[in-house]
Amino acid sequence: MKTTKIGIIICDRYRECAGGKCFRALKNREGAFDIYPRDENVEIVGYTTCGGCPGGNIEYAPEEMKNNGAEIIHFATGFVVGYPPCPYIKHFREFIREKYGLKVIIGTHPIPQKYYLTHQKLGTWNTEEWKDFIRPTLSDEKTRQAYD
């Protein structure tokens, strides 16, 4: 059976997060984890924060994850639902792709409905770039409500 190894980087403002929604979404193959078939093993080989603005840990954590076999780095959903959303996310993604040659996916668990509604009212995600960033975690309303 194929095993895909991933690393998860979370926004430092959520540094005390235990990862419950991320791990639940991985188990259920929801949100950005729906790209992995249910019969595929997915192993988390690293879980850390970005290190706080402007992301000092982004320079080093992916290397350790790659040394542990990571093929893909997921930025946790908190990067896009927190307010304000991470202003560095595009730079982080490009840096990791270029320096470490790793695939980077923005998102882990589905966007909780309460965050979705707030950001819709604020117009936070109205640009094409942000629509692209949230696409992997958008899910349907019922799923978003389950992550409130």
Domain boundaries along the sequence of the chain: 3-146
Give the mean pLDDT of 88-107. 98
Can you read off the two tokens belonging to residue 91?
């730079």
pTM of the entire structure? 0.95
Q: Please tell us whether the domain made up of 3-146 is placed in CATH 2.40.10.
A: no
Q: Which residue has the tokens 């950005």?
A: 32
Q: What is the pLDDT of residues 43-89, one digit of tens each?
A: 999 999 999 999 999 999 999 999 999 999 999 999 999 999 999 99
Report strand pairing: 41-49 vs 72-75: unpaired
Q: Looking at the predicted structure, is the pLDDT value of residue 1 above 90?
A: no
